Structure 1
Amino acid sequence: MSAKLIQQVAAAFSSQGVLAQSIKGFNRRDVQAEMAEAVASSITSKSNLVVEAGTGVGKTFAYLIPALLSGKQVIVSTGSKNLQEQLFYKDLPALLAMLNLTPKVALLKGRNNYLCQHLMEKELAGASSMDTQVLDDLLRINQWAGQTTDGDIGGLTAVTENSAALPLVVSAKETCVGQRCEHYDDCFTRKARNRAMDARVIVVNHHLFLADRILKETGFAELLPDSDVVVFDEAHLLPDIAVTYFGQQCATRQLADLFDKLIEIYRFELRDAKQIELLSARCSAMLNEWQQHLFGIGETDWRRLLANKELSALSWGLFKEIKALQAVLIAHVGRSDNLDDEILKLDALANKLELFFLCENNQAAYSIDYGHRYLVLRIAPIDVAKECRKLFESNVAWVFTSATLQINRDLSLFTRQLGLNQCQNMLLESPFDYRNNALFCVPRHLASVSNHHAALNQFVDVCVKAVNAAKGRTFILFTSHRMLNLVAPALQRRVTYPLLVQGQANKQSLLKKYRQLGNAVLLGTGAFWEGVDVRGKLLSCVIIDKLPFISPDDNLFRARSEAIEREGKDAFSEISLPQAVITLNQGVGRLIRDEKDKGVLILCDNRIVNKPYGQAFLNSLPPMARTRDLDKATAFLEQIK
Structure 2
Amino acid sequence: MSSRLTQTVIHQFSQHGALAKNVHNYHNRQSQTDMAVAVSEAISQKQNVILEAGTGVGKTFAYLIPAILSGKQAVISTGSKNLQEQLFLKDLPALLTMLDMHVPIALLKGRNNYLCQLRLEKQMQNAAHFSDYYIDDLLKINQWANLSKDGDIGNLTSVAEHSEVLPSVVSTKETCTGKKCEHYDVCFTRKARVRAMDAKVVVVNHHLFFADRLLKDTGFAELLPDPDVVIFDEAHLVPDICINYFGSHISSREIDTLLNDIIKLHREVIRDSIQIEQLAQRGLQALSNWHNAMYDNQVSDWRKVLANKQLATVSWTLQQALADLAKLMTHHLGRDDQLDLAFEQLHELAEKLQDYFECKDMQAAYSVELGTRFVMLRLSPINVAKQCQQLFDANTRWIFTSATLQVNRSLGHFATELGLTSAKQIILDSPFDYPNQAMFCVPRHLGKVGQSQHTVKQLVDVCIQAINAAQGRTFILFTSHQMLEQVASSLQGRTTYPLLVQGQASKQSLLNKFRQLGNAVLLGTSSFWEGVDVRGKLLSCVIIDKLPFVSPDDALYKARAANAERQGLDPFSHISLPQAVISLKQGVGRLIRDEKDRGVLILCDNRIVNRAYGQAFINSLPPMQRTRDLDKALQFLKHIP
Q: Give the TM-score category using the shorter length.
A: over 0.9
Equivalent in the alignment of 1:5: 5
Equivalent in the alignment of 1:21: 21
Equivalent in the alignment of 2:54: 54
> Mean alpha-carbon deviation: is it higher for 620-629 or for 181-190?
181-190
- The code of the aligned residue for 2:578 comes to P
> Mean alpha-carbon deviation: is it higher for 116-125 or for 528-537?
116-125
Q: Distance in 1 between matches of 2:445 and 2:136?
A: 56
Write the deviation string for residues 240-295 of structure 1: whole angstroms up to 9, x where unpaired. 11001111112222222222222222222223333322222222222222222222
> Mean alpha-carbon deviation: is it higher for 68-77 or for 147-156?
147-156
Equivalent in the alignment of 1:548: 548
Q: Distance in 2 between matches of 1:218 and 1:140?
A: 35
Equivalent in the alignment of 2:199: 199
Deviation at 1:125, TM superposition (A): 6.2
Equivalent in the alignment of 1:498: 498
SS in 2 for 1:173: coil
Q: Distance in 1 between matches of 2:165 and 2:586?
A: 31
- The code of the aligned residue for 1:405 comes to L
Deviation at 1:45, TM superposition (A): 1.5
Equivalent in the alignment of 1:444: 444
Equivalent in the alignment of 1:323: 323
SS in 2 for 1:52: strand
Equivalent in the alignment of 1:173: 172
Alignment map for 1:43-192 (pairs within 5 Å): 43-115=43-115, 118=119, 128=131, 149-155=149-155, 163=162, 165=164, 168=167, 171=170, 173=172, 176=175, 178=177, 187-192=187-192
Q: Distance in 2 between matches of 1:20 and 1:174?
A: 47
Equivalent in the alignment of 2:489: 489
Root-mean-square deviation (CA), in Å? 2.5
In structure 2, the CA distance between the partners of 1:139 and 1:472, relative to structure 1 (3 Å rule), is farther
Q: Distance in 2 between matches of 1:452 and 1:41?
A: 54
SS in 2 for 1:597: coil
Q: Distance in 2 between matches of 1:317 and 1:277?
A: 18
Write the deviation string for residues 518-575 of structure 1: whole angstroms up to 9, x where unpaired. 1111111111100011111111111111111111111101111111112221111111
SS in 2 for 1:331: helix
- The code of the aligned residue for 1:264 comes to K
- The code of the aligned residue for 1:78 comes to T
Q: Percent identity?
A: 59
Equivalent in the alignment of 1:370: 370
- The code of the aligned residue for 2:24 comes to K
In structure 2, the CA distance between the partners of 1:199 and 1:451, relative to structure 1 (3 Å rule), is closer
In structure 2, the CA distance between the partners of 1:451 and 1:521, relative to structure 1 (3 Å rule), is closer
> Mean alpha-carbon deviation: is it higher for 546-555 or for 364-373?
364-373
- 8 Å contact from structure 2 (residues 386, 419) kept in 1: yes
Equivalent in the alignment of 2:389: 389
Deviation at 1:326, TM superposition (A): 2.2
In structure 2, the CA distance between the partners of 1:311 and 1:197, relative to structure 1 (3 Å rule), is same
SS in 2 for 1:467: helix
Deviation at 1:391, TM superposition (A): 1.2
Deviation at 1:236, TM superposition (A): 0.6
- The code of the aligned residue for 1:439 comes to M
- The code of the aligned residue for 1:437 comes to Q
Deviation at 1:147, TM superposition (A): 6.2
Deviation at 1:146, TM superposition (A): 6.9
Equivalent in the alignment of 1:427: 427
Q: Distance in 2 between matches of 1:111 and 1:579?
A: 32
Q: Distance in 1 between matches of 2:91 and 2:558?
A: 41
Alignment map for 1:289-438 (pairs within 5 Å): 289-438=289-438
> Mean alpha-carbon deviation: is it higher for 522-531 or for 259-268?
259-268
- 1:34 corresponds to 2:34: yes
Q: Distance in 1 between matches of 2:255 and 2:527?
A: 30
Deviation at 1:413, TM superposition (A): 0.4
Q: Distance in 2 between matches of 1:119 and 1:600?
A: 54
> Mean alpha-carbon deviation: is it higher for 408-417 or for 491-500?
491-500
- 8 Å contact from structure 1 (residues 96, 102) kept in 2: yes
Write the deviation string for residues 222-242 of structure 1: whole angstroms up to 9, x where unpaired. 111100000001111111110
Deviation at 1:188, TM superposition (A): 4.1
Deviation at 1:316, TM superposition (A): 2.6
- The code of the aligned residue for 2:396 comes to V
Deviation at 1:318, TM superposition (A): 2.7
- 8 Å contact from structure 1 (residues 5, 69) kept in 2: yes
In structure 2, the CA distance between the partners of 1:608 and 1:498, relative to structure 1 (3 Å rule), is same
Q: Distance in 1 between matches of 2:631 and 2:160?
A: 43
Deviation at 1:623, TM superposition (A): 0.5
Alignment gaps of 5+ in structure 1: none
In structure 2, the CA distance between the partners of 1:125 and 1:460, relative to structure 1 (3 Å rule), is farther
Equivalent in the alignment of 1:600: 600
SS in 2 for 1:496: coil
Q: Distance in 1 between matches of 2:128 and 2:575?
A: 52
Deviation at 1:53, TM superposition (A): 0.3
- 1:625 corresponds to 2:625: yes
Deviation at 1:508, TM superposition (A): 0.8
Q: Distance in 2 between matches of 1:597 and 1:170?
A: 47
Q: Distance in 2 between matches of 1:136 and 1:548?
A: 48
Q: Distance in 1 between matches of 2:227 and 2:401?
A: 18
- The code of the aligned residue for 2:268 comes to F
Q: Distance in 1 between matches of 2:558 and 2:351?
A: 26
- 8 Å contact from structure 1 (residues 2, 44) kept in 2: no
In structure 2, the CA distance between the partners of 1:185 and 1:395, relative to structure 1 (3 Å rule), is closer
Deviation at 1:56, TM superposition (A): 0.4
- 1:511 corresponds to 2:511: yes
- 8 Å contact from structure 2 (residues 408, 619) kept in 1: yes
SS in 2 for 1:269: helix
- The code of the aligned residue for 1:485 comes to E
- The code of the aligned residue for 2:172 comes to K
Please report the TM-score for the alignment, with normalisation by the length of structure 2.
0.94
Q: Distance in 2 between matches of 1:386 and 1:598?
A: 44
Q: Distance in 2 between matches of 1:159 and 1:635?
A: 52
Please report the TM-score for the alignment, with normalisation by the length of structure 1.
0.94
Equivalent in the alignment of 1:570: 570
Deviation at 1:167, TM superposition (A): 6.2
In structure 2, the CA distance between the partners of 1:602 and 1:296, relative to structure 1 (3 Å rule), is same
Q: Distance in 1 between matches of 2:394 and 2:53?
A: 25
- 8 Å contact from structure 1 (residues 366, 379) kept in 2: yes
Deviation at 1:372, TM superposition (A): 2.9
SS in 1 for 2:270: coil
> Mean alpha-carbon deviation: is it higher for 353-362 or for 168-177?
168-177
Q: Distance in 2 between matches of 1:633 and 1:254?
A: 51
Q: Distance in 1 between matches of 2:257 and 2:173?
A: 10
Q: Distance in 2 between matches of 1:496 and 1:159?
A: 40
Write the deviation string for residues 15-51 of structure 1: whole angstroms up to 9, x where unpaired. 1111111101111011111111110111111110000
